[in-house]
Amino acid sequence: MPDWIEMWLAPVLFSVLQKQAPSVRLSIVNTDPFRIASMLEQGEMDLAVCQTGVLPSWCRHHVLRRMPFKSVFAPVGIRSARKLSLDAYLARTHLIVTYRNAFEGPADAWLAAQGKRRKVMFASTRFAVLPSLLREPATMATVPEAIAARWRSEHGLAVVDCPVPLDEVVVSAAWLAVRDKDAPLQWLRDVLRTAAQDRAAAAGAAARL
């Protein structure tokens, strides 16, 4: 799992395992969309949970959750944190997570097509560091909705729709096709599906409050 999915899914996954199979031990290793297939093929993990993209034919996958991106920032000096204009978005210093050591993310291609550019001043391969950096004035990050909601609750960050149109984040579970009938792995996939559904239900209930 990438670290943001671990933060989002691991607490409920561990809780389910403690109730249903307290003797089962779970080891989570870090991955990203570009390493899933090779890590599965080399036996470095049994089941991947990530944004999978296009997988080779010898992999199987099922979708666990779809969610939009949200922009997050410290609401200091902001009169309204409900909406964000593109000009206000571009005026901020951006922090991004990238798995290829670049200072560009999905938003930058769209902005370039509009003849615009944002100021990206920090890039990391991990999401966990961002909340502490977002304490700095006029900083912003654009992250998957699930982790944005957690940061709003735990760190008091403002969460708004991103003014840049971005594709949904699609989180899937992936495994080797030769292990389709592997009973323990089938059980773990079902547990993951339940955990993701529980998280989605909790998020929906919170949104209605």
pLDDT of residue 205: 52
Q: Percentage helix, strand, coil, to 5, in the chain?
A: 40, 20, 40
Domains and CATH numbers, the chain: 3-66+168-208 (3.40.190.10), 69-161 (3.40.190.10)
pLDDT of residue 52: 80
CA distance 39 to 34: 10
Asked if 170 and 66 touch (Cβ cutoff 8 Å), the reply is yes
Closest alpha carbon to 178 in 43, 30, 28? 43
pLDDT of residue 78: 58
pLDDT of residue 54: 80
Ramachandran region, residue 132 (left: φ > 0; alpha: ψ -120 to 50; beta: rest): alpha
Q: Classify 45 as helix, strand or coil.
A: coil
Provide the CA 177 distance to its chain's centre, in angstroms: 25
pTM, entire model: 0.87
Asked if 50 and 5 touch (Cβ cutoff 8 Å), the reply is yes
Q: Could you read off the pLDDT tens digit of each residue along the chain, which spans 209 residues?
A: 999 999 999 988 899 889 999 999 999 999 998 899 999 999 999 999 998 878 899 999 999 999 999 999 998 755 555 678 999 999 999 999 998 778 998 899 999 999 999 999 999 999 999 999 999 989 999 999 999 999 999 999 999 999 999 999 999 999 999 999 999 999 999 999 988 887 776 665 555 44
